[in-house]
Structure 1
Amino acid sequence: MTGAETAQQPVDLVIAAGAIATMDARRQILLDGAVAIRGTRIVAVGKRETILARYRPDTLIDEPDSLLTPGLVDAHQHPASGFLIGGGFIDELPPARRLAGVMAPHEKMLTPQEAYAGSLATYAELIRHGTTTFIDAGSPQSAETVKAAEEIGIRGVIVPRTSDLPGMLGRDPETIHSVLDHADEVYDRFHGSAGGRIQVWYGLDDPTSVSDELIRGIVKHAGDRDTGVSGHFIGMPPAAGTSQPERNPQLERYERFGVLELAPVLAHVGWLPEDDVKRLGASPAFVAHCPSTSLLGGQGWVAHGVIPDLAAAGTELVLGTDAAAISRFLDLVRVMYLAAVCHKDAHRDHSLMPVTSVFEMGTVNAAKALRAADRLGSVEAGKTADLALFSLAGLAYRPFRFGNPVADLVYAGSGADATTVVIDGVVVMRDRVLTTVDVAEVARAVDEAAGPALDKLGGRQAPAWPIG
């Protein structure tokens, strides 16, 4: 053994790539780079030659045609309830029918087996497209959602669905004590589970389905436990012929009861008065933008919404794919593309939502929203090893595949180019094959669970064109 070899430090894994989007403070893109990993942590980032001279890995993954990025973060997801009613079941229904008429009853009737199958399929799709972490948007059957996450190895935030009023989705009314007791039970049982990969936050389903007293309770319980809050906040424009209010009354409630001070992740902020945009921008709150949901559902949040205004006001924006049936895909890179291009067109302003800012939404901004900026969101020594490799070998990335690789990934590629994914230092996908679950088995479980789930909703919808 040579002196150089004896001087090498042992590590579990080295990943070498043609380029690394470090997302460090300088946003450096390191060409011909490598990352050394010991246990769950990154111990060094540098040039390939330097890292391999200094470290002796048990496993070497060398992809010279790939871009290494931080693992992507899907900041608004419905793992349990979105997968089983795909196949065009709600594609072109009016938004109210999709949500109140289908999604809400489906969630209510979900069995543990159905929730587990849907969650596992959701996670498999997220990982296959380079996503390593999700934030639950408030789902039923939390135990099964956690079970699936533990099995597949993904990182995530679990949020039990939290409402005590029917609201716009016609939820079953609940007592405040029962809602808070359930949320506390989920927190006590699962927070910090799976070796710390699973966190539990508190939820606010949407402003119309939560009473003032429940809001106060959620703020107190989340604050006492120093954990986060996630929920929906759609924000609707004034009805035709009515005057524009100076304040959105629901945002005013959240502000008055201290919700915004907890840095919540609020999704689907479609419309707000100008002064409220400024107030939200000055608060610690995060806004999860889900453009695919709006575009498929005809919600108007892209064409007529305030997302670019929120960005200009300083709001920290993050990205979500939402439920599989609502978005129809779980590829966060495609969501980045939509976020980067649709607002440019809607406002006829090429400068809106630059691709660099959009990529930050799915990485460093999301790490802040997760309360984990010290551990996630960038490829740096000391950070947790949540990483994704995307192949840039195809023609879509030519010429000069490493000339501007992040823009090329978002504008020309997709999450389907993900080849390898590492979560908490564990390789959960290698060469596009998941290592923790059998995708074919997951697909069979989804098919078996989907039939009964759809039967409870009246059966499958007939396709627009004959199939046979």
Structure 2
Amino acid sequence: MTIASEFTVDTLIDARWIIPVEPTHQTLLHHSIAISNGKITAILPTSEAHTKFTAKQHFQLKDHALIPGLINLHTHAAMSLLRGLADDLPLMNWLKDHIWPAESRHASPEFVKDGTLLACAEMIQGGITTFNDMYFFPEAAAEAALASKMRAALGLITIDFPTAYASDADDYLSKGLAMRDRYNGENLLSFCMAPHAPYTVGDETLAKVLTYAEQLELPIHIHLHETLNEIEQSLTQYHQRPIQRLHNLGLLTPSLLAVHAVHLTPQEITLLAKQGCHVAHCPTSNLKLASGIAPVDTMLAKGINIGLGTDGAASNNRLDMFAEMRLAALLAKGSSGKAEILPAYQALEMATLNAAKALGIDALTGSLKPGKAADITAVNLSALSTSPCYDAASHLIYASGREHVSHVWVNGDNLLNEGKLVTLDSQELKAKANYWQGRIKQ
């Protein structure tokens, strides 16, 4: 994992531990990462790094663990402005009586950009370097992601009913594809087709989504089997469960990212595995909305690739991947009765490399390897609450939290330095949040 020649690099980061995720179950002690032109140049023992490289910037993090930047595999970033608006309600009541009415009144490019900037700040502070977004006005989300210098996968959202963003399914698709064409050259951005859910998108629209996904080689990001009500509605309207309906339409492919996947039969799990589909597991949102507990242990046993997401801040209410990793591990153990299910290394892999695979960007990010983008999170494990440390990977999942994140780099750019935002202004974002709170309360 080293190079032989001596030269100047942009950044050198020394750390007590490095957990690269690839290869798995590996923790490197007293190693350094060299970065040039936004990419990892080498990972090598710190003593060697100091003789091989000179660096324009040198970070000496003697009590820290370096991990790949966390990837939030499913969120609605702009909904940070709706955090806490309507809590303790079932999903459909929450959506129909509170969230959708608020969005119909306030959703706009300005709302989306301000909400996404607020979300980006929270995610950066929590060690998240990439997020997969599904929301209206994705151009505004793109502008926010680029301003923050985060990596984002932007959903080309599609719904069969009108909103402030688009009038019908064709309008959604047209605007989404135009957005992709406009930002396709940005190296921090990738794209997904994003039909909202089986209960909001009809067969004709799903067929068009599949056509575009195949032509453009894009993942398909969709809520699927989140609640029992969704399944009952599908049985009434289509006389089949949503997964079978999507399979009949040809959507169950290695490009499909099924969000939630809570209520699955053994046959459906086998089908998802056979078709190479991916799953975005959102444990906190599933519990808060009383949707249920996804059968993660069974999906893992079948070889399904599972990543982790927070969902939106309106239904979580945190964009906290440390909380998701810990909860995912504990729920898998508790629901299966097997303490060995979903160990710490695997939970970290779900929040990094697995998520990158689901988005088709694992050649770029998701692990710490020479040649990959320098998307890196540093976690300070010197606190009393993380002392002593026998196993850094275990501590990351079971002992530490986002409050221990000290530094974040995306594409080699430092976005968080000693816990302070570099690319975003905290006071400006608080003012924006207060402004929207005033409008929404009215």
Q: Same fold (TM over 0.5)?
A: yes
Of 149, 152, 156 in structure 2, the residue corresponding to residue 156 of structure 1 is 152
Of 418, 421, 438 in structure 2, the residue corresponding to residue 434 of structure 1 is 421
Q: SS state of the match for residue 180, structure 1?
A: helix
Partner of 1:217: 208
Alpha-carbon offset, residue 77 of structure 1? 0.8
Q: SS state of the match for residue 63, structure 1?
A: strand
Structure 1 position 10 matched with structure 2 position 12: no
Alpha-carbon offset, residue 156 of structure 1? 0.5
8 A contact 2:253–2:277 mirrored in 1: yes
Q: SS state of the match for residue 35, structure 1?
A: strand
Alpha-carbon offset, residue 108 of structure 1? 3.0
Of 254, 258, 262 in structure 2, the residue corresponding to residue 266 of structure 1 is 258
Residues 1:418 and 1:238: Cα distance change in structure 2 (over 3 Å): closer
Q: Could you tell me which amino acid in structure 2 is paired with residue 259 of structure 1?
A: L
Partner Cα separation in structure 2 for residue 283 and residue 51 of structure 1 = 44
Deviations 1:334-390 (A, max 9, x none): 110000112322343323322222111011111111212222111111111000000
Alpha-carbon offset, residue 83 of structure 1? 1.2
Partner Cα separation in structure 2 for residue 163 and residue 240 of structure 1 = 18
Residues 1:263 and 1:240: Cα distance change in structure 2 (over 3 Å): closer
8 A contact 1:67–1:389 mirrored in 2: yes
Alpha-carbon offset, residue 306 of structure 1? 2.3
Q: Could you tell me which amino acid in structure 2 is paired with residue 161 of structure 1?
A: I
Partner Cα separation in structure 2 for residue 346 and residue 340 of structure 1 = 10
Alpha-carbon offset, residue 235 of structure 1? 4.6
8 A contact 1:190–1:200 mirrored in 2: no
Partner of 1:378: 367
Q: Could you tell me which amino acid in structure 2 is paired with residue 181 of structure 1?
A: S
Deviations 1:402-428 (A, max 9, x none): x31111111011122110000011001
Partner of 1:295: 287
Alpha-carbon offset, residue 165 of structure 1? 4.9
Structure 1 position 188 matched with structure 2 position 181: yes
Partner Cα separation in structure 2 for residue 238 and residue 154 of structure 1 = 36
Partner of 2:127: 130
Structure 1 position 102 matched with structure 2 position 91: no
Q: Could you tell me which amino acid in structure 1 is paired with residue 303 of structure 2?
A: G
Range moving further from structure 2, 95-104 or 12-21 = 95-104
Partner of 1:45: 43
Q: Could you tell me which amino acid in structure 2 is paired with residue 328 of structure 1?
A: N
8 A contact 1:229–1:264 mirrored in 2: yes
Partner of 1:344: 333
Residues 1:271 and 1:177: Cα distance change in structure 2 (over 3 Å): same
Q: Could you tell me which amino acid in structure 1 is paired with residue 253 of structure 2?
A: E
Structure 1 position 453 matched with structure 2 position 426: no
Q: SS state of the match for residue 23, structure 1?
A: coil
Structure 1 position 177 matched with structure 2 position 170: yes
Range moving further from structure 2, 305-314 or 358-367 = 305-314
Alpha-carbon offset, residue 187 of structure 1? 1.5
Residues 1:99 and 1:307: Cα distance change in structure 2 (over 3 Å): farther
8 A contact 2:226–2:259 mirrored in 1: no
Deviations 1:251-275 (A, max 9, x none): 1222222222252211111112211
Matches within 5 A, 1:56-455: 56-80=54-78, 82-86=79-83, 88-109=84-105, 110-136=107-133, 138-165=134-161, 175-193=168-186, 196-237=187-228, 249-300=241-292, 302=293, 305-399=294-388, 401=389, 403-455=390-442
Alpha-carbon offset, residue 114 of structure 1? 1.8
Alpha-carbon offset, residue 41 of structure 1? 0.6
Partner Cα separation in structure 1 for residue 248 and residue 339 of structure 2 = 37
8 A contact 1:161–1:204 mirrored in 2: yes
Kindly tell me the number of residue pairs found equivalent between the two proteins: 433
Q: Could you tell me which amino acid in structure 1 is paired with residue 413 of structure 2?
A: V
Deviations 1:72-126 (A, max 9, x none): 000001011x21122x321212322212222222333312222111100101100
8 A contact 2:260–2:280 mirrored in 1: yes
Structure 1: unaligned runs, 5 residues or longer: 1-6, 456-468
8 A contact 1:127–1:421 mirrored in 2: yes
Partner Cα separation in structure 1 for residue 364 and residue 43 of structure 2 = 15
Residues 1:394 and 1:172: Cα distance change in structure 2 (over 3 Å): closer
Residues 1:414 and 1:248: Cα distance change in structure 2 (over 3 Å): farther
Q: SS state of the match for residue 67, structure 1?
A: strand
Residues 1:70 and 1:215: Cα distance change in structure 2 (over 3 Å): same
Alpha-carbon offset, residue 450 of structure 1? 2.0
Q: What's the TM-score, normalizing by structure 1?
A: 0.88
Q: SS state of the match for residue 327, structure 1?
A: coil
8 A contact 1:72–1:132 mirrored in 2: yes
Residues 1:172 and 1:121: Cα distance change in structure 2 (over 3 Å): closer
Q: What's the TM-score, normalizing by structure 2?
A: 0.93
Partner Cα separation in structure 1 for residue 310 and residue 229 of structure 2 = 27
Deviations 1:298-348 (A, max 9, x none): 222x2xx32322122111100001111211111101110000112322343
Alpha-carbon offset, residue 203 of structure 1? 0.9
